[in-house]
Structure 1
Amino acid sequence: MRHSAKKIWIEVTAVKNVILSQLYGLRKNRTVFLCCIGAVAICTAMLVMITEWTGTRTASESVASGGLGMMTLIIGPLIAIITGIICADDFTDKTINHELTSGKIRIQSFFGRAVLAVTISVITTITALFVSLFIAIKIYGWGNTVTLDSAIIRILLTFIPFFKLSCFGVMVAFILKQPYGVVLVFIGIKMMLGIMSMKSTSSILMISEANAGKLCMYENYITYGLNTDARFIYDQSCDPELILKSVVIALVMSAVYIIIGYHFYKNDDLN
């Protein structure tokens, strides 16, 4: 029992060292930082444009009209960049070869990168959505179309599809071993799923961030008065069935992606 615990501790320590090494490398890599700033700027611009185009007067009206869902569209490329740099960048300069010859085993090398890539991807993307939302609130004010709590809950729920998408990015990174190849794959899949969505939306739940958009949408109803214009009533509750389905799909597909990614890395000759 003591021997098993010691072995587990050694494995955890090795993974932690890989994570610390990657964090040190990220501190000197400005690409991720600049991409995060760019994502915040684009998300904010999307919310501002929706507010201006639809004639809404407050941030809450823009959010209820689909602003949050539109903001999630930029997240896929951001996750691709983060996972590509963390998981695949060391293949290009053979750093990962030196790492393995120095005593690390592949499972430590893989999970050290995978854990960090998924963690940073999820935290960064959710933070980008929050920052963009509060910039819009600062510009337009919040209003009372929907509550701020409901918007915050919806952003937090995007953790589910973003976690799944990050695991997919890890898998692609270890298969292609090229950071920018991951971005191209994400763009290609996004275009393909966009075409598929014209006929069916069920398949989109599997790998894309489209499910994040669904989680951010508000159901609405139109009411008419005798002497008033049509008025939209928004349902601020989240669909429990959609949340449950999202969680189940995320857990299953994330596990599949990680297993496939490790399988390719384990059997790679690293040439």
Structure 2
Amino acid sequence: MKKILVTGATGQLGSELSVLAPSYPQYDWVFADRTQITLDNLEMLQSQLEAICPDVIFNCGAYTAVDKAESEKDLVFTVNHLAVELIAKYAREKNVRLIHVSTDYVFDGTSSIALDEKAETKPINVYGESKLAGEIDCLKENPESIIIRTSWVYSKFGNNFVKTMQRLMQEREEINVVNDQIGSPTYAADLAKAMIDIIESSKWIPGIYNYSNEGEISWHEFALGIKELGDYNCKVVGIPSSAYPTPAKRPSYSLLDKKKIKTVYNLEVPNYKDSLRKMFA
């Protein structure tokens, strides 16, 4: 029986994988939180991997507090870069399949067309820099890895934009949401299923893939979709990013082109509205 190790088990993606896992009893699932897989302590991490001895690793663990990352650079790079490098090296030496999750924040946001896997990377914040460094050394240490870049992840688990909006729309009469950052949300349950589909597939084609739901929207439009589904009375006002300054810059355009993953692994990618409806249900 193949053993699948899921790092970051209590995060959005890890939690959605744990919901799906019982439907795949042919695998021995190991869901490791930050005490079992310690991404910020490389010595411990090495021995933890050796103790678990997985056949497949879904590396969903990461430092994702984008604004806080600006002032915690060493920690961010340990978790998002050095730990990834170590996991990739371990996977190569032990012949383990590795799927590592990355982000649209590796881009600078100046594109006007959907970004494919070959688009130029140029992060504009510490989080994006750390994730790009992780990608580069992941493939350097283990060219057989699969990296999936995703964007705007939400889920019924953890903290995310959808749950924040649901709360604010019930508490307030009016909220402001930026309307000049364009991309597409990703329902973590859809991404979790895609990762399992890749493992279930008869082929393993390493490299970088993009995955997010279909649709091209702003955060403001996303908020309006949440308002509609939740039937909230709150007024949602669109504002420019300049009116909502944050410690970390965000890419203004980071829509991902999903053609590659759809073609190679024959995946159906749901529209963001259908997935949002599913989460609400």
Fold shared per TM-score above 0.5: no
Query: Under a length normalisation based on structure 1, what TM-score does the superposition of the two structures give?
Result: 0.25
- Which structure shows the bigger proportion of residues in strand conformation? 2
User: Which structure carries more relative contact order (alpha carbon 8 Å, separation 6+)?
Assistant: 1
Larger Rg: 1
Higher share in helix: 1
TM-score where L is the length of structure 2: 0.24
